[in-house]
Amino acid sequence: MQKIISSQVLRETVIATVESQQVTDIHTHLFSPDFGGLLLWGVDELITYHYLIAEVFRSADVSYEEFWAMAKTEQADLIWQTLFIQNSPVSESCRGVVTTLKELGLDLASRDLRSYREYFACQKVEEFIDIVFDVARVKSVVMTNDPFDPMEQPIWLADRKGDPRFRSALRIDPLLNDYAEVGCDKLSGFGYETDLDLSKKSLSEIRRFLSDWIGRMKPNYMAVSLPPEFKYPENSSRGKVIKECILPISLEYNVPFALMIGVTRAVNPELRMAGDGVAKADLSCLENLLSENPKNKFLTTLLSRENQHELCVIGRKFPNLMIFGCWWFMNNPSLVDEITRERLELLGLSMIPQHSDARILDQLIYKWKHSRQIISKVLVDKYQDLLDSGWLITQDEIGRDVEALLGGNFEKFLQN
Ligand code: HDL
Ligand code: ZN
């Protein structure tokens, strides 16, 4: 007999269901342990996350040169003193460190960074991965794998063991965004006959490159981050490679194409990885791609808050588009709440509400705890609206809906 959920128990039922549902995290910068030092973890990595580096310069009396000359532990000490001791850690990035340490059982009342370092010094990475996946209730994560990265590439070319919890995504920014400076030369260096004017031979060699790496990585999708001025169609190497290479290969191998649009790279280069910005994009590029390629599958997340509503409307027009996540500068409680409501109201359950974008393994803990809190709150309101109209909801139906949002929609989208 199906258990009908009353208003009195709705909130606790939704919270318990969202909390217990294992999540598939579809975009991260994590690496399985066989990638060695590329997998970042531990309290000094947490505190020197590039989001916190951007924030420390707003309050500390330190020059860029002085900061970048520091060792990581010195950088962490400065950030800890500035953003956690001299100021309350209320920003989402700071709050994330506090949540993570608490969920790992550490005493936050002490504010004793030395003792936190001692805890991590006793961890072995393989066991710590199990702890984090368990505490965060994460089933698997999708990595960001860049065949152009000199650190990463050799590991793929060796016979790596891999870990099924760490799935791959083929990241192709250099091919699409820097073909002339980076993509073309590197591809020639890898043994692909590519030229700057993208001859027929070149396009066929780029398709071979993509096929080779799809065979090697077995990626869940191919991904690129794009600037707000991205246009499609576009009379450029990017436009040509997308049309002649990415789209046909994506269709041939049933590997969706993920477009992450709205990042303005290096608006402040002094901040290095923390120096990127955001701007509203013209989404006609998406409408053109989707309408011209109805058989292709696309994943999209956008960086500008101002683009989110029109993205939902585009999602209503094109079923071959799966909208996902609250990316980067969108991943703050006030904005996650706003766009999750908007998405449920315009798309129902046919979307992927969140990804973590975690760069440090431990971050899975806070990014998912914070997101689950908001997803639960929004779902309770939406279910309550239905109960108020006399609609009945069962526990199984809530479980079904939450499983879809936290992984099922992604798996189904990949398989169809
Ligand atoms: O391009 C991306 O995938 C972004 O997520 C960048 O890596 C960015 O630096 C980031 O980590 N955002 O959360
Ligand atoms: Zn990312």
- Per-residue pLDDT at 1 exceeds 80: no
Residue 273 · residue 50 · CB < 8 Å: yes
pLDDT digits (tens, 9 = 90+) for 82-135: 999 999 999 999 999 999 999 999 999 999 999 999 999 999 999 999 999 999
Q: At what angle do helices 395-403 and 363-388 cross, to 10 degrees?
A: 140
First to last CA, the chain: 32
Q: Among positive and negative, which fits the CA dihedral 173, 178, 182, 184?
A: positive
Task: From the CA of 274, give the closest atom in ligand 1.
Answer: 9
Give the pLDDT score at 353: 99
Task: From the CA of 273, give the closest atom in ligand 1.
Answer: 9
Kindly state the tokens that stand for 122: 């006793």
Task: From the CA of 225, give the closest atom in ligand 1.
Answer: 1
pLDDT digits (tens, 9 = 90+) for 30-58: 999 999 999 999 999 999 999 999 999 99
pLDDT digits (tens, 9 = 90+) for 54-78: 999 999 999 999 999 999 999 999 9
CA of 238 to the centre of ligand 2 (A): 20
Surrounding ion ligand 2 within 5 Å at CB are 357
> Could you tell which of 170, 177, 357, 359 is best to mutate to test the pocket of ligand 1, judged by most ligand atoms within 8 Å of the CB?
357
> Could you tell which of 27, 48, 224, 328 is best to mutate to test the pocket of ligand 1, judged by most ligand atoms within 8 Å of the CB?
328
Please confirm whether the linkage preceding 233 is cis (ω < 30° from 0). yes
CA of 386 to the centre of ligand 2 (A): 36
Task: Identify the residue whose C-alpha is closest to ligand 1 atom 13.
Answer: 328
Rg (CA), the chain: 22
Pocket of ligand 1 (CB under 6 A): 29, 144, 225, 260, 273, 328, 357, 359
CA of 260 to the centre of ligand 2 (A): 9
pLDDT digits (tens, 9 = 90+) for 171-215: 999 999 999 988 899 999 999 999 999 999 999 999 999 999 999
- The residue extents of the domains of the chain are 7-415
Domain 7-415 has CATH 3.60.21.10: no
CA of 394 to the centre of ligand 2 (A): 36
Task: Identify the residue whose C-alpha is closest to ligand 1 atom 4.
Answer: 328
